Structure formats: C-alpha cells, structure tokens
Structure 1
Amino acid sequence: MFTKVLRVAVCTCSFFYTFYVLCHLTYFLSKRIDYDENVESEKGENLAVKALWHSLINFGLISVFILQHSVMASDSVKDLYAKFNVEDVERSIYNISASAVLHFLISTWMPVPWVFLWNFNNLQGGVLWYILSLIQVIGWCIVYIGCIMMDISELAGLKQVYYKLSGRPCPMALKSRELQRYFMHMRHPSFTGFLMILWIHPLMSIDRFMMASLLTAYMALMWTIDMGDYSYHSIIITRKEMEINYKKH
C-alpha cells in the first residue's frame, strides 16, 4: 500500500512541478529583454570582463542541463529502474530532475543584453516586432501541441503509474516495435518549435546566442531519425488520410 501511495505522490508532484517550471520557461525564453543603457557608463574593459564571466556561468548552466538529459536518458540508468522494479516512475523522476535543473538555470541565468547580434526592441509596436512575437507564439504552440499529440499523460509520467497500479503492462510495451524505435530516435517531438523560439527573437543577445547554439547542436546530435523512421511515419500518415477519406464517404 505504501509503495502505491509513494508512486502516486511521485508522479503527481512531478506533473505539477513540471507544469510550474514550463510556465516559467515559456516566459524566460520569450520575454522582452531591454538593452541596459546604464552599462554605457562603464569602461569597455569592465564590460568585457563582466560579459565573459556571465558567459562562463551560463555555459556551465547549459552544460549541467545537457548532462542531466544525457545521463538520465542513458540505458545504464534505465537498467537501474528495471533492477528495482520501479520502471513506472522513471519518467516522473526524469521530469522532476529536468525541471529542477531548468528551474536552477532560469533562476541563475546571467543575461548580457549589452552585447547582441541584433536588437529590434526599439521597433516595438511595428510590423516586424509583431511578426517576431507571433513567431514565438507559433513556436510554443508547436511545442505544446506536439507533446499533446504524442500522449501528454505518458510524457508526464502519469500513464505509466496508472497502468502499473491497474496491473497492465508498460504503455511503451503496447506500442509497435516500429513506433518504439521511432520514439527512441526522436528525443523531443517539437524540434522545429524550439528552433523558432530560440532563434527568432527581437533581441539576440550574446547569452541567448550561446544558449540557442548549444541547445540546437545538442538536439541535432540527439535527433537520429533515419529512413526507416521516415518510411514508418509516411505509412502512418497515409493510413490516417485513408481513414479520414473513408469516414467522409
């Protein structure tokens, strides 16, 4: 009985904490950052040292985030869950740890708004500014809709615990071998959405550029979709189109 209550507590806390951190992440990545005019009074050498120090801290934060994602998703860690027969809480613990690292990153991030590649904030209210802001909204819609389409309850870790408590096999085990392989190669369902969010922003400061570059490289390396996955995806789309056309007629 205790283990059942503990499982429910872990997945519930994971769900709400992840939701809380994702709300903060949405604001963190898409908020408007103004150029700090006060830094113009500082000497160029001091600004350079300050920018370098901030960049080193930010690089460390991103490295911790990438390390957490890589280690927690490794086969050796997954084998530990299987060894102790707690595979159902694997996703919940993964989400909690990822959210904790993200929360720390957001809280500790050191912006460098006085060094930037482009700055369109002075055009606020103009057509270009609205276009960039709209692209941010579209990017987040792609991210969250993609998660919902992939079964949000399973991504949140709720479905695994529910199936365990009801005596059913793991949800992933009920999927076809081709779909399991596809999910293993596609580490995140919204690669395109995150690219839009990270790169299309009114102010591309040097710290945001570093974050966008490192996370883009990491996602690209972890995205190992091949022709077999592409063929499977094409077959599923064709099958869905045939079902829709059949229902219409």
Structure 2
Amino acid sequence: MLSETLRFSVWGSSFLYTFYVLCNFMYFLSNQYDNQKIASRPESDDNLVLTMLWDFLIDTCLISAFILQHSVMASDFVKRIYSALKIEDLDRSVYNACSAAVLHLMVKTWVPVSLVTLWNINTTSYSKIWLLMTAIHVLGWVFIYSGCLMMDISELVGLKQVLYKISCRPCPMNMKSRELRRFYGHMRHPSFTGFLMILWIHPIMSIDRLLLAVILTVYMIGMWNIDEDDYRYHSYVIQRKKRELS
C-alpha cells in the first residue's frame, strides 16, 4: 500500500509542477506586453557590447541545459537504470518533473537582450495586429496540446505507467505495435508546427528570442526522424480510422 501511495505521490507532484511550469512557459513565449517594455527600455551600461555578449552566453547556457537534460534522460542508458531499480513506471514522471525544473530555471533566469532587434511591432497601438498575433499563438498552443491528446495523454504525463505497474500489467509502450513504437521513437511529440508558429511569429524578435528560436528549431529538426515507413504507417492508421468511423 505504501508503495502505491508513493508512486501516486511522485506522479501527482510531477503532474502539478509540470502543469504550473508549462503555464509559465506559455506566458514566457506568448506574452507581448512585457517584451514591448523590455524592447523600449534604454540601455545605460557603458560596455553595451560586453554586457550583451555576457547575457547572450547566459541564455545560451540555459537553452543548452534544457536540451542536455531532455536528451540524456530520454536515453536508453537512463531507462536501464530505472529498470534495474524496479521503478521504470516512474520514468516518465521523473522525466517530466526534471524537464519542468530546467524549463522553470530558464524562464525565471532568462536575460532579455534588447540592444539588437530584428523587428519590433508595437501591438499596444494596433489592436488588429495584437489580435492577429494572439490568434496565431492560441492556434499554435492548440496544435501542441491537441497533438498530445491524440497520442496518449495519460502516458505522456506518466499516469498510465503507474496504473499498469500497480495492476501488474506490462509497460504500456510494450503493448503497442512495433510500428507504433518505431513511429513514437522518431516523433514523440507532435508539436513541431505549433512551436514554429510560437517561436517565430511574434511582434518583437529580439536577439535573445532569435537565439531561442534558432536553437530550439534546429534541435527539433535534428530529433525529427520521420521516414517513409513511418509515413506509410501513419497513412494506414488514418485510413483505418476513417473506415471505422464511416
């Protein structure tokens, strides 16, 4: 009984903390007003270039820490450690919590670099542009979260793994077809288009946001390994769903 309580406590804490951080992350990426204030703030430092380079380095380290954590904790080596400790059902919960912690650190300690901006559109003076930007970001987040729902949201948040462990059933991923496991391995999060919209379509493209957009875009492209076999499998599943619903 204690084991079950601990497992649910770990999952519940991970879920609540991840949800809180994701809300902060959404505000961080999509907020327009704070960025507008930062971009219009005068620089008073005498060594502007040196200050900009230092801030640039801090932001680069923050993004790199997130990518490193995201990659290392998803490796087979870490998964084998969980299996050896008999806590493989908590793999996803711990992964989500650690990802949220690094993301939280990045959001809270991010240093805006307003010395250089590629474009700066004052949305406070143009309500139509504000509405357009808001609509695009809302659509992007809808793409991201609807994609997660269509995959298996209970597995993505780690709940299904804990439930299966308690009921003495195999790991949920092992019960999926080989083709689906291969597809998930090449494309675990169906959020590429949504994140591209959110990262690149913004009224202010400061140099620090450009850094974030470039690095995350390159990272997502590098991790996106969909091939012809995956495409054929996905097409087959869609056609089968259509036949079932018709």
Instruction: Quickly name the TM-score band, shorter chain normalised.
Output: over 0.9
Distance in 2, Cα, partners of 1:3 & 1:137: 40
Distance in 2, Cα, partners of 1:47 & 1:145: 43
Q: Does the CA contact (< 8 Å) of 2:4 and 2:166 recur in 1? A: yes
The answer to whether residue 53 in structure 2 is matched with residue 52 in structure 1 is yes
Structure-2 residue corresponding to 1:175 = 176
Distance in 1, Cα, partners of 2:220 & 2:235: 22
Distance in 2, Cα, partners of 1:217 & 1:210: 11
**Aligned partner of 2:128: which letter?**
V
Distance in 2, Cα, partners of 1:130 & 1:50: 34
1:65 shift after superposition: 0.3
Q: Between the two proteins, what is the percent identity of the paired residues?
A: 56
Distance in 2, Cα, partners of 1:84 & 1:237: 39
1:6 shift after superposition: 1.5
Q: Secondary structure at the match of 2:111?
A: coil
Structure-1 residue corresponding to 2:31 = 31
Q: Which segment is superposed worse, 120-129 or 189-198?
A: 120-129
Structure-1 residue corresponding to 2:243 = 242
Residue-pair matches, total: 243
The answer to whether residue 109 in structure 2 is matched with residue 111 in structure 1 is no
1:105-130, Cα deviation, whole Å (9 max, x unpaired)? 00100011332111112564343332
Given the two structures, how large is their TM-score scaled by the length of structure 2? 0.94
1:47 shift after superposition: 2.2
Q: Does the CA contact (< 8 Å) of 1:39 and 1:47 recur in 2? A: no
Distance in 1, Cα, partners of 2:19 & 2:230: 30
Q: Secondary structure at the match of 2:190?
A: coil
Distance in 1, Cα, partners of 2:52 & 2:21: 27
Q: Does the CA contact (< 8 Å) of 2:123 and 2:203 recur in 1? A: no
Structure-1 residue corresponding to 2:160 = 159
Q: Does the CA contact (< 8 Å) of 2:123 and 2:129 recur in 1? A: no
Q: Does the CA contact (< 8 Å) of 1:120 and 1:129 recur in 2? A: no
Q: Does the CA contact (< 8 Å) of 1:135 and 1:196 recur in 2? A: yes
1:190 shift after superposition: 0.8
Q: Does the CA contact (< 8 Å) of 2:186 and 2:225 recur in 1? A: yes
Structure-2 residue corresponding to 1:138 = 139
Given the two structures, how large is their TM-score scaled by the length of structure 1? 0.93
Structure 1 residues 143-222: aligned runs within 5 Å: 143-222=144-223
Gaps of 5+ in 2: none
Q: Secondary structure at the match of 1:117?
A: strand
1:151-196, Cα deviation, whole Å (9 max, x unpaired)? 2111000110011111211111111110011001103211110111
Distance in 1, Cα, partners of 2:228 & 2:103: 33
1:49-99, Cα deviation, whole Å (9 max, x unpaired)? 221111100000000000001100011001111112211000000001000
User: Considering only aligned residues, what root-mean-square deviation do their CA atoms show, in Å?
Assistant: 1.5
1:3 shift after superposition: 2.3
Q: Does the CA contact (< 8 Å) of 2:136 and 2:198 recur in 1? A: yes
1:36 shift after superposition: 4.1
Distance in 1, Cα, partners of 2:179 & 2:217: 26
Structure-2 residue corresponding to 1:102 = 103
Q: Secondary structure at the match of 1:110?
A: coil
Q: Per the alignment, do residues 54 and 69 of structure 1 end up closer, same or farther by CA in structure 2, a change over 3 Å counting?
A: same
1:178-215, Cα deviation, whole Å (9 max, x unpaired)? 00110011032111101111111110110000000000
